[in-house]
Structure formats: structure tokens, C-alpha cells
Amino acid sequence: MENRIFVGIIEDQLLFREGMKAILSTWPEFELVFECADGYSAIDKLNKCAITPDVMLVDLSLPPQGQKEFSGLHVTLALSEAYPDMKILILSVHEDENFITQLINHGAHGYLVKDVDPGEVQEAIISVHKKGAYINERTLRALQHNTGKKVRTVKLLTQITRREEEILQLICRQYTAEEIAEKLFISVKTVNGHRTNLLQKTGSRNVTGLVLYALKNNIVDLV
């Protein structure tokens, strides 16, 4: 029976990486077998690596590579596809619940905020390795709050204007065009114009499509 756990780190900040290595060396069961500063080369290097890590610590905010962004999210996607047995533990400075949910949904097995103490890191690594998951209360809460939410599509931000988004939100609150016009001190015709544009831009047949679009893109919340 092998007691050691092979650990890898993908982290761009050298200082933090060194700190993490120091923490890992405290416990004999951990063996660091892989480290990398960016997501792009990680997959390449892993193929050439003699030992595949059991647990990979991945920094969420990796630097962009040239034009393309390649964050911890992308790494998680790539790793969980290439190495289904590898357990992925996200390290992040963000406590944003959307981030947490997103990562978990894309294959991460655990999420740690970077201010955790070493003991929790140890616990988390062991937990993902043995149980396949490490979720603490904070993370659980994020998952609870975010079920039903998805992150807004990138293209959306440029497609839909501020005013259109405003009107879309009011539509989703079950206001009629007339009521929206009153609220915004504009003509009903204008509101209808915006709605027509929204239908066209979102490719919807009717308000139903607009509501679905708004929810998918997190323009409104499903409270």
C-alpha cells in the first residue's frame, strides 16, 4: 500500500509556489512531483513527466498567454479531460461564489481560498485524494447559492446595450411595455423598439425567449 500522495502545482507567483512547497515538505506523505508556472505548458510537461500527480494544486488566476486567456478554469477543463483520475484543488484569492461554482462545475474537486492555514491545505489534499472531494462550508454555501446560475456569456456584453439590458430586466419582472415606459419616462414605442431589438439580438421568438436568455446570461437572478 502506497501511502505517499504525489502532488503537483500550477502557479505563476514564484513566492507563493515556494511557500506552498515549504508547507508540503512539512508532511512526509506529500511528494511534489510537478510544478509549472502557467497553464499552457502544463499539459505538455505533464506528458513528459514520469509520475502523474494524484493531486494538482491549480492557481485560479494564471496569467494570460499572448492574446488568449488561459486561467485556472481552462487548466481545470483540460486536466480533468486528459487525466480523469487526477484530483484538482483550486487555489484562489477570490471568494466570489460564481467562481467557486464555475470551477466545481468544470471538474475541480475542491476550492481553497489562499488565506487558509497550512493545516487546511493538508486536510484538503488528503481529502481530495481519498474521498475525491474537499468542500468546506464556504464552498458549500456558494454551491447552494449558485445552483441555477451561470456566468454571463462574453459575447453578450457587447451585443446588448445598457438600455436594452435595463428593459430586459424590467420585462423579467413581469412589467408590460406600458409600465416600463412609465418607469423610464419614455414612450411605449421606444420600449417596443428596444424589445424588438432584443428579440432579434437574442434570436428569441417571444418574451419567453428573452426571459430564458436573461437568466442564462445572469442579467437577472432567479431568486
Partner DNA sequence: CGGCGTATAGGTATAAATACCTGTTTTGAA
Partner DNA sequence: TTCAAAACAGGTATTTATACCTATACGCCG
Binding site for a second copy (CB under 8 A): 101, 104-105, 107, 109, 131-133, 135-137, 139-140, 143-144, 146-150, 171-174, 176, 204-209, 211-212, 215-216, 222
Sequence letter at residue 124:
A
Interface with DNA (CB under 7 A), residue total: 22
- In this chain, which stretch among 8-16, 33-41, 127-135, 202-210 interacts with DNA, using CB under 7 A? 202-210
C-alpha grid cell, residue 217: 446570461
- Which of residues 32, 37, 151, 199 is near DNA by CB under 7 A? 199
- Measured from the CB atom, the residue of 93 and 222 that comes closer to a second copy is 222
Residue 91 to residue 124: CA distance in whole angstroms: 11
- Measured from the CB atom, the residue of 23 and 143 that comes closer to a second copy is 143
**Residue 46, C-beta contacts closer than 8 angstroms, at least 6 positions apart:** 8, 34, 52, 82, 83
- In this chain, which stretch among 76-84, 137-145, 173-181, 215-223 interacts with DNA, using CB under 7 A? 173-181
Residue 165 to residue 13: CA distance in whole angstroms: 38
Using a CB cutoff of 8 Å and minimum separation of 24, what contacts does 76-81 make? 76/103, 76/106, 76/107, 76/108, 77/106, 77/107, 78/39, 78/42, 78/43, 79/42, 79/43, 79/107, 80/106, 80/107, 80/108, 81/107
Choose among DNA, a second copy, none what residue 157 binds, the Cβ cut-off being 5 to 8 Å by kind: none
Choose among a second copy, DNA, none what residue 93 binds, the Cβ cut-off being 5 to 8 Å by kind: none
- Measured from the CB atom, the residue of 21 and 216 that comes closer to a second copy is 216
- 3-state DSSP helix/strand/coil percent for the chain, to nearest 5? 50, 15, 35
Q: How far is the CB of 216 from a second copy (least distance, A)?
A: 6
Interface with DNA, residue 190, by CB under 7 A: yes
Q: In angstroms, what CA-CA distances link 15 with 18, 58, 168?
A: 5, 15, 46
- Which of residues 25, 119, 161, 212 is near DNA by CB under 7 A? 161
Choose among DNA, a second copy, none what residue 137 binds, the Cβ cut-off being 5 to 8 Å by kind: a second copy
Interface with DNA, residue 177, by CB under 7 A: yes
